[in-house]
Amino acid sequence: MASYFRRKKITFWPCGFRISGDTIVLAAVYGPKAGSKKNESPEKASIEVLWKPKSGQIGKAEREYEMILTRTLQSIFLSTIHPNTTTSVIIQVMHDDGALLPCAINAACAALVDAGIPLKSLAVAICCGITESGSIILDPTKQEEQEMPAFAYLVFPNSSLAVLPGTPPLIEGEPVEHGIITSVTHGAMSVDDYFDCLDRGRVASAKLSEFLRKNLAQSQIPNHSSKAS
Amino acid sequence: MTDESSSHPNTLVDHWVAPGDVVLDLTNMANQTLKLGGGLRQECDAIIVTKAGRFKFSKPNKYWVESSQKRYVPCVEDTVLGIVVDSKADNFLVDIKGPTLGFLPVLAFEGGTRRNVPKFEIGTVLYLRVVKANTGMNPELSCTDATGKASEFGPIKDGYMFESSTGLARLLLSRPTCPVLDALGKKLSFEIAVGLNGRVWVNASSPSTVILVANAIMSAEFLSGAQQRILVEKLLQRVQ
């Protein structure tokens, strides 16, 4: 009997540009499976996220992560292509060393691309924190996160290649990749500090999106130049 | 990340593209008809990529994104290998590794009438053609070609079926013959059926040949032509 659940590629996404960063998250994408969930409209595809912590029972924090991830992925997901289907994304935390949610978002996005689910763009996530002395650091470790008075998780769309300059059109004078998909903040910071975090986050996400593009290109099959029969 | 014209390539054909990339600008192409294949979407005047992969172009006007996945999106006129899951009064339900089950009408066989409806057990492997594939509807399948003849479609007996990615299935069906099949065919005799949905069926006189062929095909996906031939030689040496 054929199994209905087709498993996609599982992707590792080690987080952190720094050598000490070792948050590891495993993301798996299943679907699209026939049938949508009870409260979802059958006229579009729905996406569901399951968050599995490294240890312990599933509680409110996990539900919050699931909700944030669902909303983020829904904004890059093209829901009109396969109506009445559900795509499941399962996140398994292997090791948490700070910036867990951005790492999970990057992993989920890479898994969706690998599975061939149609997307509007890629989502690139970064964590910016403000230390007590007022300086901004990216990708803090767990200990730094606990000591910081405030930090923010920011998700941007990726920078896209375009054939001609000027496309895609600038929205209100700014390129599309400066738009922000998700922002989750913890602690208290001033408005100026938040805008500083946004600027740093944009620069970092541009670099992350280059890295993502290069790695995804390498993981695909080599270019067999054969005529289609 | 908005560099000026130096970083804008004139064309992205044969480049690897990611979702969100704009690959064609329609303002300069007012009077042409374009055919867009999988992975592309039109938004106002631009063609935007939705699936990551290599952007391909074929004259005169066909564009598509080529990528390899483990799941299959049904397309019209594809030949696929399906497994019967259930049978209803009017059609069989067949699993073709897509988002929904396919329907195979009970009369879609050569010379099929209500009196000689074939009986397939659950789990039968069928070689089928996709007749209709619209989003939101179950795809419709058929065991005849477009003219109504059976021509090799229908149930498949014996042998061994394994799953692969869609990219590997396309590689096995490409012209000229894929190097691994070429090398295997020179030394061994076997039968093979490839479904574009990522399923491959192999049959040979002895089980060891079947296993050898299946393993060679599965390992050959990411190798170049020369490497595939070397792989086949090594496997054959081990057997003999």
Domain boundaries, given as residue ranges, for chain B: 15-66, 78-156, 160-238
Phi and psi at residue A153, in whole multiples of 5°? -100, 130
Question: Residue A173: left (phi > 0), alpha (psi -120 to 50), or beta?
Answer: left
Q: Do A216 and B52 touch (CB under 8 A)?
A: yes
Q: Nearest-CA neighbor of A69 among A105, A99, A96?
A: A105
Whose tokens are 């579009």? That residue is A44
Phi and psi at residue B232, in whole multiples of 5°? -65, -40
Q: How confident is the model at residue A229 (pLDDT cuts 50, 70, 90)?
A: very low
Among A6, A82, A113, beta carbon nearest to B19: A113
Phi and psi at residue B226, in whole multiples of 5°? -65, -40
B15-66 classified as CATH 2.40.50: yes
Least confident interval from A51-60, A99-108, A213-222, B103-112: A213-222
Quickly list DSSP for A33-75: EES--TTS-TTS-EEEEEEE-SSS---HHHHHHHHHHHHHHHH
Class of the domain covering B78-156: mainly beta
Cβ neighbours of A1 in B, within 8 Å:
85, 122-123
Cβ neighbours of A177 in B, within 8 Å:
1
Q: Would you tell me how many other CB atoms lie within 10 Å of the CB of residue B37?
A: 13
Beta B62-66 vs B53-58: how paired, if at all?
antiparallel
Q: What tokens appear for B51 in the block?
A: 């699936």
Average the pLDDT over A86-96 and give the result. 88
Are A184 and A153 in contact, with CB atoms under 8 Å apart? yes
Phi and psi at residue A193, in whole multiples of 5°? -65, -40
**DSSP-assigned letter for residue A214:** H
**Smallest CA–CA distance from B221 into chain A, residue:** A221
Average the pLDDT over A99-112 and give the result. 88
Quickly list DSSP for A70-128: HHHHHHHB-TTSSTTEEEEEEEEEEE-SS-HHHHHHHHHHHHHHHHT--BSS-EEEEEE
A-interface mutation test, from B12, B21, B73, B124, most A Cβ less than 10 A away: B21
Among B20, B23, B69, beta carbon nearest to A121: B20
Helix (H) or strand (E) holding A190: none
**Extended beta strands in B44-184, E state:** 46-49, 53-58, 62-66, 79-87, 91-95, 102-105, 125-132, 140-142, 154-156, 160-163
Average the pLDDT over A107-112 and give the result. 88
Q: Nearest-CA neighbor of B199 among B237, B156, B232?
A: B156
CA–CA distance, A109 with A122 (Å, rounded to integer): 7
Identical fold for domains B15-66 and B78-156, yes or no, is yes
CA–CA distance, A203 with A128 (Å, rounded to integer): 12
Stronger pLDDT, B233 or A159, i.e. the higher one: B233
* Total residue length of chain A: 229
**Smallest CA–CA distance from B16 into chain A, residue:** A217
| Domains of chain A, CATH where assigned | 2-165+173-220 (3.30.230.70)
Q: In the predicted model, is pLDDT for residue A2 greater than 50?
A: no
Are A139 and A127 in contact, with CB atoms under 8 Å apart? yes
ipTM of the complex as predicted: 0.76
Q: How confident is the model at residue A223 (pLDDT cuts 50, 70, 90)?
A: low
Q: How confident is the model at residue A164 (pLDDT cuts 50, 70, 90)?
A: low
The partner residues of A129 in beta bridges, in order of sequence, read A137, A151
CA–CA distance, B211 with A170 (Å, rounded to integer): 56
Supply the pLDDT for residue A10: 39
Q: Do B22 and A120 touch (CB under 8 A)?
A: no
**Smallest CA–CA distance from B51 into chain A, residue:** A118
**DSSP-assigned letter for residue A227:** B
Least confident interval from A52-61, A99-108, A165-174, A182-191: A165-174
Q: Do A113 and B15 touch (CB under 8 A)?
A: no
Cβ neighbours of A201 in B, within 8 Å:
none
Among B41, B46, B50, beta carbon nearest to A167: B46
Are B52 and B41 in contact, with CB atoms under 8 Å apart? no
Q: Do A161 and B15 touch (CB under 8 A)?
A: yes
Supply the pLDDT for residue B2: 36
Cβ neighbours of B59 in A, within 8 Å:
none
Cβ neighbours of A162 in B, within 8 Å:
8, 21-22
Q: Nearest-CA neighbor of A168 among A121, A203, A109?
A: A121
CA–CA distance, A99 with A155 (Å, rounded to integer): 12
The CATH homologous superfamily to which domain B160-238 belongs is K Homology domain, type 1 (3.30.1370.10)
Q: Do B22 and A84 touch (CB under 8 A)?
A: no
Q: Nearest-CA neighbor of A134 among A149, A114, A119?
A: A149
Q: Do B14 and A164 touch (CB under 8 A)?
A: no
User: Rounded to two decimals, what is the model's pTM?
Assistant: 0.80
Q: Do A161 and B9 touch (CB under 8 A)?
A: yes
Among A114, A161, A217, beta carbon nearest to B12: A161
Q: Would you tell me how many other CB atoms lie within 10 Å of the CB of residue B230?
A: 14
- C-alpha neighbours within 13 Å on the C-beta side of residue A76: 33
Q: What tokens appear for A227 in the block?
A: 């005529």
Are B160 and B202 in contact, with CB atoms under 8 Å apart? yes
User: What single-letter amino acid sits at A201?
Assistant: G
From first to last of its 240 residues, chain B has per-residue pLDDT tens of: 333 333 445 677 888 888 888 887 777 776 778 888 878 888 877 888 888 888 888 888 888 888 888 888 888 888 999 999 999 988 999 999 888 899 999 988 888 888 888 889 999 999 999 999 887 788 999 999 888 888 889 999 889 999 999 989 988 998 888 888 988 989 889 999 999 999 999 999 999 899 999 999 999 888 888 888 898 888 888 877
Helix (H) or strand (E) holding A139: none
Which of A11-20, A70-79, A207-216, B33-42 shows the highest mean pLDDT?
Answer: A70-79
CA–CA distance, A172 with B179 (Å, rounded to integer): 53
CA–CA distance, A208 with A115 (Å, rounded to integer): 20
Are B108 and B141 in contact, with CB atoms under 8 Å apart? yes
Q: Do B122 and A32 touch (CB under 8 A)?
A: no
A-interface mutation test, from B15, B17, B22, B96, most A Cβ less than 10 A away: B22
Cβ neighbours of A85 in B, within 8 Å:
99-100
Stronger pLDDT, A178 or A139, i.e. the higher one: A139
Cβ neighbours of B201 in A, within 8 Å:
none
Q: Do A83 and B175 touch (CB under 8 A)?
A: no
Supply the pLDDT for residue B110: 87
Q: What tokens appear for A96 in the block?
A: 């948490």
Cβ neighbours of B171 in A, within 8 Å:
221, 224, 226
At B56 the three-state DSSP class reads strand
Among A81, A159, A163, beta carbon nearest to B12: A163
